[in-house]
Amino acid sequence: MNRLRTFVSILLISLATSSLMAREHKEVIPKAPLFCGAAVFGDLSGPVMLAVGSKFSQLEVGARLNFRDHYFPLCELGIGESTREGQEQNNRFHTRAPYFRVGMDYNFNRKHNGNRLMGGIRYGFTSFKYDFQNPDFQDPIWGGSQKGLDLRGQQGRAQWLEFTVGCETKIWSFIRLGWNLRFKARLHQKKSEFGEPYYIPGFGKNGSSTFGGTVNLIFDVGRTSKKNKVIDVSKTLIKNNQ
């Protein structure tokens, strides 16, 4: 519940910022073309997490379309990995599997100036196998030693929803940089009879909800990258006003 409150706070602050931005610029905004191009993007945080030896990481790419410079239907796919050894128990968990997300972003910035304040929703799903091992352990009350577990290839499956908020800006020509924060709510999971996975690829550390985020390097392709038509419309209007 605390996680949800934090996320809702971030969302409200973002929307308030968007509203202030809109008040600053009161000129009439022209409508962008119906189809403004497409983009492909990759998450930069995954390789960083992999490089610093994080407990879990993901390599993720995606593609999206741009309608009216406001609506961005998209899909994301990646590979999530976790190899985790317990600090006190010498237990070991491992999984590596692909995951998929589909959804849509909405750009709250009414001006077509290349900066975007985004809110969105995603549906994610994955099917994966996970391993769990632990050494022999003692029975402190009844005595004797219990043979350790060596459970490999336990089948897992999960579906979840993500609510995102973030922003992006144009760095150069057809290249953009953006980031977003994500509140993830697990909808359903299938787990082994011996226990649920520690990590779900694409979702993160297993639980009813969690936070996440990505830092995306975005490449506009097609119409937007060639002609920058959306931005040209805005510039034309500025000239007319002057």
Partner 1 sequence: MKANCNSLGKRLMLLSLFAVLSLPLFLSSCDGIDCTINNVVTLHVGFYSSEGTELAYADTLTITAAGTDSVLLNRGVRKSAVELPMSFDAKADTLSFSFDGYVITLRVAKTNKPHFESPDCPIVVYHELEGLDFDDPLGQVDSIVIVRKSVNNEPLENIRFYFAD
Per CB under 8 A, residues contacting partner 1 are 21, 24-25, 27, 44-45, 48-49, 52, 54-55, 84-89, 91-93, 111, 113-115, 132, 134, 137, 139, 141-144, 146, 149, 151, 167-171, 177-179, 193-196, 198, 204-205, 210-213, 215, 238, 241
Q: Write down the least CB distance from residue 104 to partner 1, Å.
A: 21
Q: Write down the least CB distance from residue 136 to partner 1, Å.
A: 10
The closest alpha carbon to 122, from 177, 60, 195, 174, belongs to 60
Q: Write down the least CB distance from residue 14 to partner 1, Å.
A: 11
215 burial via Cβ count (<10 Å: 0-12, 13-18, 19+): middle
- Residue number with CB closer to partner 1 (93 or 99): 93
Q: Write down the least CB distance from residue 178 to partner 1, Å.
A: 7
Rg (CA), the chain: 22
Separation between Cα atoms, residue 43 and residue 38, nearest integer Å: 17
- Residue number with CB closer to partner 1 (127 or 206): 206
- Residue number with CB closer to partner 1 (70 or 176): 176
- Residue number with CB closer to partner 1 (50 or 221): 50
The SS3 assignment for 112 reads coil
Q: Write down the least CB distance from residue 4 to partner 1, Å.
A: 14
- Residue number with CB closer to partner 1 (35 or 175): 175
* Residue 13 φ/ψ, nearest 5 degrees: -60, -40
Tokens 């290349």: give the residue: 114
Q: Under a CB-based contact definition with an 8 Å cutoff, are residues 192 and 154 in contact? A: yes
Q: Write down the least CB distance from residue 87 to partner 1, Å.
A: 6
- Residue number with CB closer to partner 1 (34 or 193): 193
Angle, alpha carbons 58-205-219 (nearest 5°) = 30
Length of the chain: 242
Separation between Cα atoms, residue 214 and residue 182, nearest integer Å: 8
